[in-house]
Every structure is written in structure tokens, then in C-alpha cells.
Amino acid sequence: MYKLRGLRKKDILKISKWLNDSELINYLRAPFYFINLDVDYRWYVHYM
């Protein structure tokens, strides 16, 4: 069983690592775009 929770600021490091893993993105059959960690943090602040 899995439980979902809200996004937390500390999650950004792991999410950024996943988004910048070209092999993972390839498995998802999505285009790969490098995203800077600073951009991820700004997205999080805007999102929240």
C-alpha cells in the first residue's frame, strides 16, 4: 500500500535528480530537458 502526501521543499532535491536523469526520462518516453536546481526551487515557491 502506498500513501501520498503533499509536496515538501526537501523533496525538490530528489525530484530535480529524477528530472535530470536522462535514462529515467528515456524510459518514460518523454523529451529530456536539463532543469537547473534553482529553477526547480523557484517553481516550488511559485507552486506553493
Q: Is the pTM of this model over 0.75?
A: no
- What are the tens digits of pLDDT across the range 4-45? 999 999 999 998 888 888 888 888 888 877 788 898 889 899
Pair 19, 35: CB distance under 8 Å: yes
**C-alpha cell, 25:** 526520462
Domains of the chain, residue spans: 11-47
The residue to which cell 506553493 is assigned: 48
